[in-house]
Amino acid sequence: MEIIIRRYTPEDIPRILELHVLAIQSVPNLIVHDGPLIKDLHNIDSEYIQNGGEFLVAECEGMVVGMGALRRKDEHCGEIKRMRVDPKYWRGGIGQTLLTRLEETAKRNGIKKLVLDTSIFQHSAQKLYEKNAYREIRREVIHGYPCIIYEKEIAK
């Protein structure tokens, strides 16, 4: 099974939206929200790419099976967003590959610190981030869900 990591194209948006729903529905206690909470997925270029970020997809046999994004928050800080993998492909290293590629992009773009949030119910995501030296800096409620906020200093 060959996985290709590439920048998203506008033609990927229907599958990106589907993948978002699949990944969220697979986590107990999470509910998929519509509307303004996913408007970024309808405006990927302006939300991510045009400001020095990135939006990657993982493709297997012509189908998008994973995604992840980097959003620039300011000159030296970026945010990892929208890390999703189709549950059929969990534990295959796709999330790690996407995270590594996003961190490499951040370094190339002069970002020195990355932040991200994940639900307290997403235990696999927490393990991935902690394995990659992200440290918990606080907990807060985001859109009604208790979340963990992580941070990582990245070298040049």
> For position 15, which CATH number holds?
3.40.630.30
pTM of the predicted protein model: 0.91
Nearest to 136 by CA among 127, 18, 14, 144: 127
> What pLDDT sits at residue 145?
82
Q: What is the pLDDT of residues 45-77, one digit of tens each?
A: 999 998 889 999 999 999 999 999 999 998 899
Q: What is the pLDDT of residues 107-129, one digit of tens each?
A: 999 999 999 999 898 899 999 99
Domain count, the chain: 1
pLDDT exceeds 70 at position 29? no
Owning domain of residue 140: 3-153
